[in-house]
Amino acid sequence: MPTVQAVLPVEGMTCASCVASVERALGGVPGVVEAHVNLASEKATVRHLANLDAGALRRAVEGAGYAVPQLDEGLDPLEQDAQKKRRAYLALRNKVAWGAALTAPIFALMYWETLGLDALVAIPHQLNFVLQLLLVLPVQFWAGAQFYRNAWLAAKHRTTDMNTLVAVGTSAAFAYSVLATFFPELFHAEGLSLHVYYDTSAIIVVLILLGRLLEMRAKGQTSQAIKALIGLQPKTARVVRGGAEAEVPLTALQVGDRIVVRPGEKVPVDGVVVEGRSAVDEAMITGEPLPVEKGAGDPVTGGTVNKTGAFTFKAEKVGRDTALAQIVRLVEQAQGSKPPIAKLADRVASVFVPVVLGIAALTVAAWLLWGPEPAVTYALLNAVAVLIIACPCALGLATPTSIMVGMGRGAAHGVLVRDAQALELAHTLDAVVLDKTGTGTPRRPAQTDVAAVGGVAEDEVLGRDERGSEHPLAEAVVEGARARGLEPEKAQDFDAVPGHGIRATVARGGASRRVLLGNRALMEREGVDLVALDGRLDALAEAGKTPMLIAVDGALAGALAVADPVKPEATGAIARLRALGLEVVMLTGD
């Protein structure tokens, strides 16, 4: 039976043990072939049989104590996700800020006499302890409430996670301090002074929350690459319905809709042109700097930019089926994939918490059996130390977060990594192969060569007017002329020939001259003899340049060549790669 892949958002995960719990729950659903959960992206990728009820996956996650948020079908899922994460970030930031504000005076009270503050205000020990208790209560049970909530959910399902360690460790320190505050005689011993550990409880809660805040901020930054890809697509489309054009949101488009695209607008979805002609910039898909001529029957891709004319096309793929949506999905899957080292961390975390709890229990038993008096005090303090020091939330966060950051930074610079394993293996590379077009080049053509024939000067060839054309090749010619200090002549009767070039009339010395500028097909159609430049044209084409021919009054006058030059920063990057001992190959042909 065929399998399909589903991606579920999962809320409530905080550590690698949570990941293991969700993966076990999903893996136990009949029909699930494979389940991977990524803590950094908060998503579960599940491959299952095609006949599996999607609701079973949701119930499995919720049964494990975690939530699968419902998305509003009428809104952009990425925008909903961004809003949810923004609210969560602000809420966590408030908890960290208030927790830190309350923890600072706890430390001041803890070291009141050491700092010499008792000379200003003398505070009895009992009152000092009570003040610390009042300050730590909101930190322990408001800011740290999520640790108790998640630990309880884990306990209900007969498992443990990092929240269990935090909750047990800080609660032990808090409970010991409360007993020491109100029942000091329980811990009295000869030569020992009574201590409370409210500061320990508070600072652990605040520091772990701060770590999660920084992690949440890093995850938010890595999603910018996906947002940039989504930004390539317009929010609305101009659809012909009932004989009239109507602006509708992209989510309302249907297969078969006829959509009008005007000059300068982005193509909203994938489809086929049914009416009109234009040149479309497809650099975001192919990297090619030159627009592609489109006419009836030609395909267009969502996210590409219409340059010149207007056209109408029929939508064939909408929503998640468009090429751009598939690219976004590949980036998300890559960011959510697990390298081998992350899978090792998950296996370690699945047994780590129970082992730590066992060691803490043995610590208590050892101090009670063989420790000096007060044995209870020493037993509790050392057990708390074991629980707190052994709380390695970084075990579940460091690897997935670094993968997300690495892939996010790469995507922001145009580098898409196929999966996390490829990123982990990157240090073994010994060669790098680059596609020149769009990778090492700015995707903006520039004039490179000028050739004149029949006694015409190069400046004469370059000075012919292209200012009436919006084509990037025309812009390159104009810029090349101005770089030589020339101002192209003003043309009259300008006529663009789609897919071929331009016709224009140029007045000089009281006479009007008919000028053609375009490709070989235009010249052959107009009967211009190209023998004088045949060899030169082939050489330019072989060098990866685009030749444009110029004819004046039906006679060949010369040729111009434009190309997509290598970017200076690309040259520097290649030099750095070679300095690292890597072989770099740049492909320039098809």
Catalytic (active-site) positions: 435
Tokens of 534: 């045949």
> What amino acid occupies position 211?
G
Q: Measured between alpha carbons, how far is residue 553 from residues 459, 467, 505, 537, 550 in Å? A: 18, 20, 10, 21, 10
Is the Cβ–Cβ distance between 254 and 437 less than 8 Å?
Answer: no
Q: Which helix (H) or strand (E) holds 551?
A: strand 546-552
Helix 162-182 vs helix 198-222: crossing angle, to nearest 10: 150
Please give the Cα distance from 282 to 298 (Å, whole number): 13
CA 587 vs. chain centroid, Å, equals 27
Phi, psi of 505, rounded to the nearest 5 degrees = -110, 130
106 φ/ψ sector (left φ>0, alpha ψ -120 to 50, else beta): alpha
Question: Residue 555's CB: how many other CB atoms inside 10 A?
Answer: 12
Question: Which of 436, 504, 538, 473 lies closest to 292, judged by CA?
Answer: 473
Q: Which helix (H) or strand (E) holds 271?
A: strand 270-276
HSE-CB of 486 using CA atoms within 13 angstroms: 20
Tokens of 328: 């976004």
Question: Which of 175, 166, 165, 177 lies closest to 128, judged by CA?
Answer: 177
Report angle CA 176, 163, 196 to the nearest 5 degrees.
20
Is the Cβ–Cβ distance between 421 and 337 less than 8 Å?
Answer: yes
Phi, psi of 454, rounded to the nearest 5 degrees = 65, 30
SS3 261: strand
Phi, psi of 508, rounded to the nearest 5 degrees = -145, 130
CA 190 vs. chain centroid, Å, equals 61
Please give the Cα distance from 447 to 538 (Å, whole number): 17
Tokens of 508: 């000089």
Question: Which of 296, 292, 324 lies closest to 311, judged by CA?
Answer: 296
HSE-CB of 39 using CA atoms within 13 angstroms: 26
Indicate the burial class of 191 (C-beta count within 10 angstroms; 0-12, 13-18, 19 or more). exposed
Bridge partners of residue 512, in order along the sequence: 507
Please give the Cα distance from 465 to 528 (Å, whole number): 19
Please give the Cα distance from 36 to 17 (Å, whole number): 13
Please give the Cα distance from 513 to 551 (Å, whole number): 10
